Structure 1
Amino acid sequence: MRYSSIIALTTGLLLGACNPLDNAPVGNARVPEPAKSVELERYLGKWYELARYEASFQRGCEAVTAKYSLRPDGDVRVINTCRQDSPKGPARSAEAVAKPVEGSNGAKLRVSFFQPIYGDYWVLDRANDYSWAIVGEPSGKNLWILSRTPNVSERQYQRLVQRAAGLGYDVSMLRRTKF
């Protein structure tokens, strides 16, 4: 991947999550606090993006994944990958570091693609078995529905969309990710 593409992707991921002046639509004016605590060890591993609010930094991304692993210093290594324009398109990846927010029971992380600048990452809801998660941040401009598998039944997908709606999100703004 070209260096300029990496810079654009990582800059977008960071700024999209923490820039209150951007012109992205707000899909939830009252983002709730996370519903459950998160055991970091159980959250680690690979996640597949089932749907998201479209953001400039992810435009054209398909087959989106995020891999979380523990670093020797106790922080979390994050590798976000997408395929450009189709599930078989060229891969783009960006690496970040995430730190749990003290007092959040593991449900809030601060993520940085360019330290020392951090953005918010909130696990708003999750399955008891960590098979799915709904992730957002305080501005209400970003939302991701994640799963441990790239393909879920239509029934399961609709249940997750309804859970997001129950958290106050405008689900008509969701863009389903292709795999």
Structure 2
Amino acid sequence: MRPLSHSMLGLLTAIAFTGCAANAPMPHVDHLDLQRYMGAWYVIAAIPSYPERHAYNAVESYALLPDGKIQTTFRFRQGSFDGPLRTMHPVGTVRPGTGQAVWGMQFVWPIKAEYVVAYVNADYGNVIVARSKRDYVWIMARTPGLPEAVYQQLTARVAALGYDTHKLRKVPQQWPEPGP
């Protein structure tokens, strides 16, 4: 067997470290005040999962259950502002030792998707939810829109977390919703 050349060894090392960086643990906020976090969050932009790739008026709402789990309702219009209403009801489970900022989000038993609160501003008015795989990310706010300067700051944070921000899709929001 021939020994690896220095250039081949360097290339393999670079590939290995690149792969590791892509799945490095997602940093999260030190402590998430669950009571303050509960309620409705408008999805401002996302690198969306498959079901939400054509979402309009997307809103994620959280309610703390007596057992400490988080009941989630994700609702959106499919394809347009007057498109069919879609809802999902995953349940979040806080992972111990994470300052309440990392959850397992269960859509289907027994699979729990990683949910990481990577950033929340001081007044709990906007948030970035991310994943270590850096495949999906959500920028959300308590209002259906954000000033452009704030949106750009959040987008820069998303980039710093290791995401390709060219994949971000602004979610169209129009409130109140059009009537039937």
Classify the TM-score, shorter chain: 0.7 to 0.9
Q: CA RMSD in A?
A: 1.7
Deviation digits for residues 69-100 of structure 1, max 9, x if unmatched?
Answer: 01122211000011111123221001111110
- Residue pair 1:164, 1:171 contacting (<8 A) in 2 also: yes
Q: What amino acid maps onto 2:47 in structure 1? A: Y
CA distance in 2, matches of 1:92, 1:70: 22
- Residue pair 2:28, 2:119 contacting (<8 A) in 1 also: yes
Aligned counterpart for 1:62 among listed residues 42, 56, 61:
56
Map 1:65-144; keep pairs closer than 5 Å: 65-144=59-138
% identity of equivalent residues: 32
Report how far residue 145 of structure 1 moved. 0.5
Report how far residue 31 of structure 1 moved. 5.2
Moved over 2 A (4+): none
CA distance in 2, matches of 1:49, 1:37: 22
Which has the higher relative contact order, 1 or 2, with Cα contacts under 8 A spaced 6 or more apart?
Answer: 1
Map 1:17-56; keep pairs closer than 5 Å: 29=22, 30=24, 32-56=26-50
**What TM-score do the two structures reach when normalised by structure 2?**
0.79
CA distance in 2, matches of 1:55, 1:32: 18
- Residue pair 1:82, 1:92 contacting (<8 A) in 2 also: yes
Q: What's 1:154 paired with? A: 148
1:173 matched to 2:167? The reply is yes
Aligned residues: 153
Rg comparison, structure with higher value? 2
